[in-house]
Structure 1
Amino acid sequence: MTAPSPAPPPAAPRIATGPRGLPLIGVVRDVRKDVLGWLTRTAAEHGPVAQYRFGPGRAYLVTHPDGLKHVLQDHVKNYTKDHYSYAMVRRIVGDGLLTSQGETWLKQRRLAQPAFHRARISAMAGQMVRATLELSEQWATSKRTGEPRHAVRDMMALTLRIVGEALLGTDVRAETEAVSAAFNVISEQTVERFRSLRLLPPVLPTAYDRAFRRANHALREVVARVIAKRRERQEDLGDLLSMFMLARDEETGEQMDDAHLQSEVLTMLLAGHETTATALSWAWALLHQNPDAEKKLHEELDAVLGGRPPTAEDVPRLVYTRRVLDETLRLYPPVYILSRKVMEDDTVCGYQILAGSSLDISPYVTQRLPEFWPEPERFDPDRFTPEKIAARPRYAYFPFLGGPRQCIGNNFALMEGTLILATLAQHHRPRMVAGYTPTPEPLITLRPSRELPVLITAR
């Protein structure tokens, strides 16, 4: 009897190709000029894994869903946040849930998880709708006077208020202007510093560095006041801040100090309101540009709500409203790119990935790949029927990332976005002002340009 032939040796990993860039700086100039265009071209020209130099370091761009599953889920420990982009974010929020790793992150995640339980989030729906109804009254006044508004500004103020009330048990409306102004400075500088390889901390006595320090100090003053108010009350409100303030270390029995609390509150304030506000702003622009989708949205709101404010119980019935939100997040994911550090050599989609490199992933690019999204630039909420979702790979769509580091607030954000959209779209149709076309501004999040100036019109 003939012995079976030995299995062929595994194929050697391929070496990824990529844009050549310039000596010393690599692709830095192209990224600074047009990061979204550069990402899209690189994926189209070099396939599921591309390799390039960003400054002196090697980097990879992984765009195929199979590769993303490998990085974000199956081999997540090999792709860490020990990356200079996160070092920059730590200058703003410290070592909170967004930036921490290992046992520290796991402990923080376990502590915060109960605050994001579905039943607890549903109980926050009333606060979300009440805050939105107040904005609706302001829009009604602007509708009568013809006063233009800035949708981004309105959505930022609204979601900041909701995060403050729902997660922190604090009314932060008086702080909205200070938070927005400070975060705008920090967002612009953080992105500019990263893309210019200006990696030193902002400690120099220059006007540029002083502006960063002033903005960072202003944010921390706001957060310090929030924590001080809650310490005075000594109440368990059942919100996220209560859970952090009352938690004790299992071994030492110590509670979180104010510095640690500050990191968590900053993370929730900034990550918890900026991303949802950005998505909602894009939704208004896309509905204006796509009247058929807007008509279907209005028909659903009339049929489900009949003119009354929505509740948590309505959210599962607002199927098309949610699809509008999902399709908006597909086209304009607030977090459009993020990076990891590669700890050990690996193979992704058959390509060699070397230890010590950076690895970039981009929801903006993957969520526009034509093999998974026919006519990818077209706004079509019906891409998110259950049948179409089931036919796509899991990581063809990942605005909240995935795996163990999936955004802890994804359900909070989706319910919040659905309720805000339903509450306002029942009565108002924001129209972009004449001559304005929204273009993406890739800062820390992907905002529409010029804060999306709109006129509020009646349905």
Structure 2
Amino acid sequence: MDATPAAAQPTPPRVATGPRGLLLLGVALDIRKDILGWLLRTTEHGPLACYRYGPLLSYQVNHPDGLKHLLQDHVKNYTKDHFGYDMIRRIVGNGIFTSEGETWLKQRRLAQPAFHRARISAMAGQMVQATAELSEQWTASQRSGEPRSVVRDMMALTLRVVGEALLGTNVREETQAIAEAFTVISEQTTERFRSFRLLPPVLPTAYDRAFRQANQTLRDVVARIITKRRERPEDHGDLLSMFMLAKDEETGEQMDDEHLRDEVLTMLLAGHETTANTLSWVWGLLHQNPDAERKLHAELDAVLGGRPPTAEDVPKLVYTRRVMDEALRLYPPVYSLSRKVVKDDVICGYEVRGGSSLYMSPYVTHRLPEFWPDPERFEPDRFTPEQVAARPRYAYFPFLGGPRQCIGNNFAWMEGTLIIATLAQHHRPRMVEGYTLTPEPLLTLKPAGELPVRITAR
């Protein structure tokens, strides 16, 4: 008589391997030396790599299946209670990007109406007008032959758009101060993370004083914005109005100035820095890829015929959107993100221990050859509907995904498309001789050396 077969036992999770580091520092020196190269090397260990960053047990999740698990299916097990976000909170406080739980959900609900497609479409005119004024400056530089910094131009432009469209405020006079302050903060935050310098900047050293002064500059700018708007508390139809007029459903209380400051700082910095870097990459990549540039120009001529773009044109500018998609694939501004693992879990068949740190990198996942053949090549037609449908959802995640997907993604898509369409109809920025387009991984991923160009005509 045959024996009854035993019930199939579940396969135990595997133990992930990863880069080996030093006894006390782990892989901290490797990350400090070349973070992008190090991130790419983690793929040699499979869909999930395990290593020590300083004394902390850490994991790097690169495969789309693992990203779906942590960003969508089991999102509550992976929180922002992580020292990386503690550093960001020093800059933007506890705004919608850094908050958790009920606080985040409440903030998200308050902000969501400001990013409704109809409201964003109504902002298109402001975006195009601001870009048209930069186009006039580019025309003047075209005549004089004077070089320009694409990075600085895109930063100033997107800062103006965020100020006017989302905050109902003209910040052009503060542009230089904001840019200088953010540069200090970005460089220091990056250095502090990579050197595992976790203490807050409270020491009486020149280094810590520079951080505090830069942080105070940003807070002073935001305080002036809030004070000015308090004088006109009516609804202006923008995000700041929504935050200022919102009341707690239970207590009837409104946001205090500290809470408002955190939200405004988040929108001001996150809303302009990321889009500006993406647009900067677009101009450099178009210079390097003349076939893609010709396709872009052909679409702009066919759809717009020389007139300024409108919100209604955006869905028709299919290739323009693909150009931005491909720039975001190659050089996602937010190139690495962190989470804290709450409880033991299994990702892609590998054990992940509660209390550990977990990282994900769009820069890495966007280069996995199994989803992106010849991954270093700039090819906007990777984003045809057919190719998008053939890839896993999280093979491409420049704006994350799941419930914590970036609330401003549609705003950024419209803004980027309109800016590219407005400028590329008339101008062809050419990188100056001797400049090499390479990434500089600070708080966000920007072109090194601010991308100097000479403006030429179409």
- TM-score by shorter chain over 0.5: yes
Paired AA for residue 165 in structure 2: A
Q: Which moved more, 1:197-206 or 1:227-236?
A: 227-236
Indicate how the Cα distance of structure 1 residues 345 and 302 shifts in structure 2: closer, same or farther if over 3 A, else same.
same
Residue 107 (structure 2) pairs with residue 108 (structure 1): yes
In the alignment, which residue of structure 2 is the partner of 1:332?
A: 331
Structure 1 residue matching 2:231: 3-state secondary structure: helix
In the alignment, which residue of structure 2 is the partner of 1:124?
A: 123
Distance in 2, Cα, partners of 1:110 & 1:276? 23
Structure 2 residue matching 1:251: 3-state secondary structure: coil
Extract unaligned runs of 5+ from structure 1: none
Paired AA for residue 209 in structure 1: D
Structure 2 residue matching 1:376: 3-state secondary structure: coil
In the alignment, which residue of structure 2 is the partner of 1:156?
A: 155
In the alignment, which residue of structure 2 is the partner of 1:184?
A: 183
* Offset, 1:6: 4.1
* Offset, 1:438: 1.2
Residue 249 (structure 2) pairs with residue 253 (structure 1): no
In the alignment, which residue of structure 2 is the partner of 1:375?
A: 374
Deviations 1:269-316 (A, max 9, x none): 000000000000000000000000000000000000000000000000
Distance in 2, Cα, partners of 1:3 & 1:102? 52
Structure 2 residue matching 1:185: 3-state secondary structure: helix
* Offset, 1:3: 8.7
In the alignment, which residue of structure 2 is the partner of 1:15?
A: 15
Structure 2 residue matching 1:10: 3-state secondary structure: coil
Paired AA for residue 328 in structure 2: L
Deviations 1:113-141 (A, max 9, x none): 00000011000000000000000000000
Residue 64 (structure 2) pairs with residue 38 (structure 1): no
Residue 213 (structure 2) pairs with residue 214 (structure 1): yes
Paired AA for residue 227 in structure 1: I
Deviations 1:347-396 (A, max 9, x none): 00000000111000000000000000000000000000000000000000
Paired AA for residue 235 in structure 1: E
Deviations 1:62-102 (A, max 9, x none): 00000000000000000000000000000000000000000
In the alignment, which residue of structure 2 is the partner of 1:146?
A: 145
In the alignment, which residue of structure 2 is the partner of 1:95?
A: 94
Number of residue pairs aligned between Structure 1 and Structure 2: 458
In the alignment, which residue of structure 1 is the partner of 2:407?
A: 408
* Offset, 1:42: 1.6
Distance in 2, Cα, partners of 1:25 & 1:304? 55
In the alignment, which residue of structure 2 is the partner of 1:448?
A: 447
Structure 2 residue matching 1:447: 3-state secondary structure: strand
In the alignment, which residue of structure 2 is the partner of 1:437?
A: 436
Q: Is the 8 A contact 2:233 2:244 kept in 1?
A: no
Within 5 Å, which residues of 2 pair with 1:269-418? 269-418=268-417
Paired AA for residue 308 in structure 2: P
Distance in 2, Cα, partners of 1:95 & 1:427? 42
* Offset, 1:5: 3.6
Paired AA for residue 7 in structure 1: A
RMSD of equivalent CA atoms: 0.9
Within 5 Å, which residues of 2 pair with 1:53-64? 53-64=52-63
Q: Which 4+ stretches in 1 moved above 4 angstroms?
A: 1-4
Identity rate, percent: 79
* Offset, 1:234: 1.8
Extract unaligned runs of 5+ from structure 2: none
Structure 2 residue matching 1:441: 3-state secondary structure: strand
Distance in 1, Cα, partners of 2:322 & 2:439? 21
TM-score by length of 2: 0.99
Structure 2 residue matching 1:314: 3-state secondary structure: helix
Structure 2 residue matching 1:408: 3-state secondary structure: coil
Indicate how the Cα distance of structure 1 residues 190 and 5 shifts in structure 2: closer, same or farther if over 3 A, else same.
same
Distance in 2, Cα, partners of 1:3 & 1:215? 75
Distance in 2, Cα, partners of 1:388 & 1:6? 44
Distance in 2, Cα, partners of 1:3 & 1:100? 57
Deviations 1:29-79 (A, max 9, x none): 000000000000121x10100000000010000000000000000000000
Distance in 2, Cα, partners of 1:414 & 1:84? 30
Structure 2 residue matching 1:193: 3-state secondary structure: helix
TM-score by length of 1: 0.99
Distance in 2, Cα, partners of 1:95 & 1:372? 36
Q: Is the 8 A contact 2:324 2:417 kept in 1?
A: yes
Distance in 1, Cα, partners of 2:364 & 2:78? 20
Paired AA for residue 425 in structure 2: Q
* Offset, 1:7: 3.4
